[in-house]
Amino acid sequence: MALKKSQKEEIVKEFEGVAKDSKSVVFLNFHGLNVGDETVLRRGLREKGVNYKVGRKTLLRRAFAGRAEGEMPELPGEVAIAYSKDPISSAREVYNFGAARKGILKILGGIFEGKFVGAEKMREIATIPSREGLLSRLAFLLQSPMQRLAIAVSEVAKGK
């Protein structure tokens, strides 16, 4: 379907707004994603505060060119973007959905902290634990030495 020049300009402006307002943007290839899975994906992303848009590669390149440092990653195949105000949630949610569906979604790269990053870096970002997960790990690490100290004090007290 051919788009008119005015429609293309409107789409580019919308993507430029996304680049300006989002903390992170994930470029992904969704080849093989059926309508049912895409509906589930969109609903799941929306619940986590992540937006999802499908776009033409040329319009995406035009909109995101110069919006971040570095070189924009290659965008092969059918491309969409996931973006949010949270720097990690868009990458995490796309990664989790793709992992649960045996790799239907392929992360191609993205924008993180004002820089274009490759697919590998976006996957690393996606696997960073949530704040709650990090706090529970910290609590466990702090609890373990305290337990050992309590056991040691208890053993010393038994010896007297």
**What is the predicted pLDDT for the residue at 108?**
92
Fold of 5-128: Alpha-Beta Plaits (3.30.70)
Would you state the pLDDT for residue 62? 87
Residue 57 burial (10 A CB sphere; 0-12, 13-18, 19+): middle
Question: What is the reported pLDDT for 16?
Answer: 87
* Average pLDDT over every residue of 79-103: 88
Which residues lie below 8 Å from residue 110, measured CB to CB, with a gap of 6+? 24, 25, 26, 27, 73, 90, 91, 116, 117, 122
Q: Is residue 114 pLDDT above 80, yes or no?
A: yes
Instruction: For residue 98, name the pLDDT band (cuts at 50, 70, 90).
Output: confident
Cα-trace Rg, the chain = 22
Q: What is the pLDDT of residues 19-70, one digit of tens each?
A: 888 888 999 998 888 898 899 999 999 999 999 999 888 888 888 888 788 8
- Sketch the domain layout of the chain as residue ranges: 5-128, 129-160
pLDDT above 70 (res 160): no
Q: What is the pLDDT of residue 79?
A: 92
Rounded distance between C-alpha atoms, residue 122 and residue 103, angstroms? 15
pLDDT in tens, 145-154: 778 788 888 8
**Nearest-5° Cα angle at 38, 67 to 61:** 20
Contacts of 62 (CB under 8 A, 6+ apart): 12
What pLDDT is attached to residue 149? 80
CA 2/CA 66 separation, integer angstroms: 26
SS3 of residue 72 by DSSP: coil
pLDDT of residue 52: 92
Q: What pLDDT is stored for residue 1 in this prediction?
A: 63
pTM (two decimals): 0.76
Candidates 100, 124, 121, 91; CA nearest to 33 is 100
Would you tell me how many other CB atoms lie within 10 Å of the CB of residue 92?
Answer: 22
Starting at the edge strand found earlier in the chain, the sheet holding 106-112 runs 51-54, 79-84, 24-29, 106-112, 115-118
Q: Which position has the higher pLDDT, 19 or 109?
A: 109
**Rounded distance, CA 87 to CA 107, Å?**
16
Query: How big is the chain, counted in residues?
Result: 160
